[in-house]
A and B are shown apart, each in its own frame.
Chain A
């Protein structure tokens, strides 16, 4: 084992490896920042060239292309309210309000530091947990996955500050929208109204661009906002890099929150097919419920940035480990990784950790280095990137509108998709005005397909009482407990006040 570590570290310290990791990390950050271009696209673009590189370098580049995209995606989520990747969606809730208050650098500093540490440290945890993983993974079957997915959506709905019923309705609407198109198991075309364009349904990027990015731009223009940040430089206590460092200090100040969120991200990320979408919301929910000031969440609270950003990077190491150790892809991205492994002659599975241990360690340690590199680059770029939030709205709105239209076209290569994004932008504006939860809608959309898949499979295998399994009942109890917790807390507080 020690020899394998030495071999991995020796390889990673070579100029060639460091150079390619740096290039991959920069491309990954740019891919994460630009709406519509995700890690999946950058990896898909690279895969045709994989055989031109030596095996270890090729796989290391793949890891680098994936590692920092979420960190890059947090920057757009914070600065312009567009999640760069769908697992940055929770960061919007407090990241963008922080930018509006003139604390964009602080939010980026906190996000990047939390991401960097959340992505790097669980790798060592991952290696220690390998023997324990298999029973955990095998215990999670279709019924448990169905309950976990529904639980994740309920979590988000409960976070809607004004009304849980509106949050639940939003999540359910998101599920419905995800069902548009051709259903796999029956071949039935649902809600397509005869349109071939709707046959494949909508994409997540389309949703994020319209519901968050465009809706926010419309809202700011209608309110006559002069710029994204409505606080002048003179009104902010700290500016530039000083503010970014404050964000980093915030992570240290909330280190236990960071640790809990990282563990949540890692553990949930291990479960194949669930991934970051649920992890970030569970992390956000626990941050809110354990905070001394839960009422500040959603108004620009740094804890609301630290929690999801720790979780979303931590999940990546868990997902890669599951992919390598068991050959089970945790997501579409990991399925691409499996394809890449096979192309270079490496078969993922339990034998990979015995026959190719130095390679496995190289990739896992590569995640650590790329996360740190990505974090440093984003950290010191923050003061330059936040300049965009002080530019006049005329320039920002027109430029971002063009970028959104281009990204909308790029996602589906169809002009009709731009119409869909505009429609979603208007709908997102209406939802914002009527206090319906857009994050719940997005999560319902992301998880809708999985909800249907696991629910139908569970019914087929175990009947309608599929949820009567022990792990399911525990998960249901946790969900109900989390649902009732704020009401119980309020009741106890009222009782205490009456007694006083």
Chain B
């Protein structure tokens, strides 16, 4: 239910924002699209209040997610790793951050040093061959090495 309200409010914000665009051409489609979203969310909310919509598998769990601390902590840990890789790329550059991330992640999951190092080196080498040599993509060096 909260997500439906959130979508409705988002659409309302976009609708109001769109009305401020100076030309009809710029306003028309955003206004129409946000109206469609508001209408659909209103229908869903009304149906939910009237009990016409059965709670979909997973949705009850998702809405009760606040009470499931296990899933939240898993998500936080996951975002931690994702964020860590992002920061690593920004600071060290792709070619250092990626093998370090792979090594750290696999070690944190209990893999042996041999497997972690072999996997990290192979993936990094494969990425280098495909994206740098074959596709010619220039990766930034990172803050430290820039």
A402 contacts partner chain B, Cβ-Cβ < 8 Å: yes
| Contact digits for B11-49, partner A, Cβ 8 Å, 1 yes 0 no | 000100110011101101110011011001101100000
**What residues of B have a CB within 8 angstroms of the CB of A406 in the complex?**
94, 98, 127, 131, 137, 139
CB distance from A154 to the nearest CB of B (A): 11
**What residues of A have a CB within 8 angstroms of the CB of B123 in the complex?**
399, 402
B136 contacts partner chain A, Cβ-Cβ < 8 Å: yes
B135 contacts partner chain A, Cβ-Cβ < 8 Å: yes
Find out whether the CB atom of B3 lies under 8 angstroms from the CB atom of A430: yes
Find out whether the CB atom of B127 lies under 8 angstroms from the CB atom of A403: yes
Interface-located stretch among A120-128, A135-143, A162-170, A280-288 = A162-170
- What's the count of A-B pairs with C-beta under 8 Å? 136
**Residue from B18, B40, B43, B111 within 8 A of A172 (CB atoms):** B40
Interface-located stretch among A185-193, A194-202, A252-260 = A185-193
Find out whether the CB atom of A410 lies under 8 angstroms from the CB atom of B85: no
Interface-located stretch among A96-104, A229-237, A451-459 = A451-459
Find out whether the CB atom of A190 lies under 8 angstroms from the CB atom of B21: yes
**Residue from B21, B33, B119 within 8 A of A395 (CB atoms):** B119
| Contact digits for A444-488, partner B, Cβ 8 Å, 1 yes 0 no | 000010011001100100000000000000000000000000000
| Contact digits for A182-223, partner B, Cβ 8 Å, 1 yes 0 no | 010110101100000000000000000000000000100110
Find out whether the CB atom of A45 lies under 8 angstroms from the CB atom of B135: yes
Given contacts A169-B37, A410-B131, contact A222 B71 (CB under 8 A): yes
A134 contacts partner chain B, Cβ-Cβ < 8 Å: no
User: CB within 8 Å of B: which of A132-166?
Assistant: 162-163, 165-166
Find out whether the CB atom of B135 lies under 8 angstroms from the CB atom of A37: yes
- Which residue, of A37, A162, A173, A455, has the highest number of chain B Cβ atoms within 10 A? A173
A336 contacts partner chain B, Cβ-Cβ < 8 Å: no
Find out whether the CB atom of A176 lies under 8 angstroms from the CB atom of B33: yes
A179 contacts partner chain B, Cβ-Cβ < 8 Å: yes
**What residues of A have a CB within 8 angstroms of the CB of B44 in the complex?**
163, 165-166, 169
B92 contacts partner chain A, Cβ-Cβ < 8 Å: no
**What residues of A have a CB within 8 angstroms of the CB of B82 in the complex?**
401, 422
Q: Chain A residue with minimal CB distance to B29?
A: A452
Report how far A422 CA is from B87 CA in the complex, Å: 13
A355 contacts partner chain B, Cβ-Cβ < 8 Å: no
Find out whether the CB atom of B135 lies under 8 angstroms from the CB atom of A222: no
Given contacts A176-B34, A394-B106, A434-B3, contact A188 B43 (CB under 8 A): no
Interface residues on chain B, number (Cβ under 8 Å) = 55
Q: Chain A residue with minimal CB distance to B77?
A: A221
Q: Chain A residue with minimal CB distance to B42?
A: A165
**What residues of B have a CB within 8 angstroms of the CB of A415 in the complex?**
86, 89-90, 140
Find out whether the CB atom of B135 lies under 8 angstroms from the CB atom of A175: no
- Which residue, of B23, B29, B98, has the highest number of chain A Cβ atoms within 10 A? B29
A6 contacts partner chain B, Cβ-Cβ < 8 Å: no
User: CB within 8 Å of A: which of B68-116?
Assistant: 71, 74-75, 78-79, 82, 85-86, 89-90, 94, 98, 101-102, 105-106, 109, 111
Q: Chain B residue with minimal CB distance to A422?
A: B82
**Residue from B7, B29, B59, B74 within 8 A of A175 (CB atoms):** B29
**What residues of B have a CB within 8 angstroms of the CB of A185 in the complex?**
25
B62 contacts partner chain A, Cβ-Cβ < 8 Å: yes
CB distance from B71 to the nearest CB of A (A): 6
B51 contacts partner chain A, Cβ-Cβ < 8 Å: no
Report how far A410 CA is from B78 CA in the complex, Å: 23
A398 contacts partner chain B, Cβ-Cβ < 8 Å: yes
Given contacts A163-B44, A406-B94, contact A183 B26 (CB under 8 A): yes
**What residues of A have a CB within 8 angstroms of the CB of B58 in the complex?**
433, 435
Report how far A456 CA is from B105 CA in the complex, Å: 51
**What residues of B have a CB within 8 angstroms of the CB of A341 in the complex?**
none
User: CB within 8 Å of B: which of A309-348?
Assistant: none
**What residues of A have a CB within 8 angstroms of the CB of B86 in the complex?**
405, 415, 418-419, 422
A residues near B (Cβ < 8 Å) are 34, 37, 41, 45, 162-163, 165-166, 168-169, 172-173, 175-176, 179, 183, 185-186, 188, 190-191, 218, 221-222, 394-395, 398-399, 401-403, 405-406, 409-410, 415, 418-419, 422, 426, 430, 433-435, 448, 451-452, 455-456, 459
B residues near A (Cβ < 8 Å) are 3, 7, 14, 17-18, 21-23, 25-26, 28-30, 33-34, 36-37, 40-41, 43-44, 53, 56, 58-59, 61-62, 71, 74-75, 78-79, 82, 85-86, 89-90, 94, 98, 101-102, 105-106, 109, 111, 119, 123, 127, 130-131, 135-137, 139-140
21 contacts between A and B (CB under 8 A): A37-B135, A45-B135, A45-B136, A163-B44, A163-B53, A165-B40, A172-B37, A175-B33, A186-B22, A188-B23, A191-B30, A394-B111, A398-B106, A402-B85, A402-B98, A406-B137, A406-B139, A409-B139, A430-B3, A434-B59, A452-B29
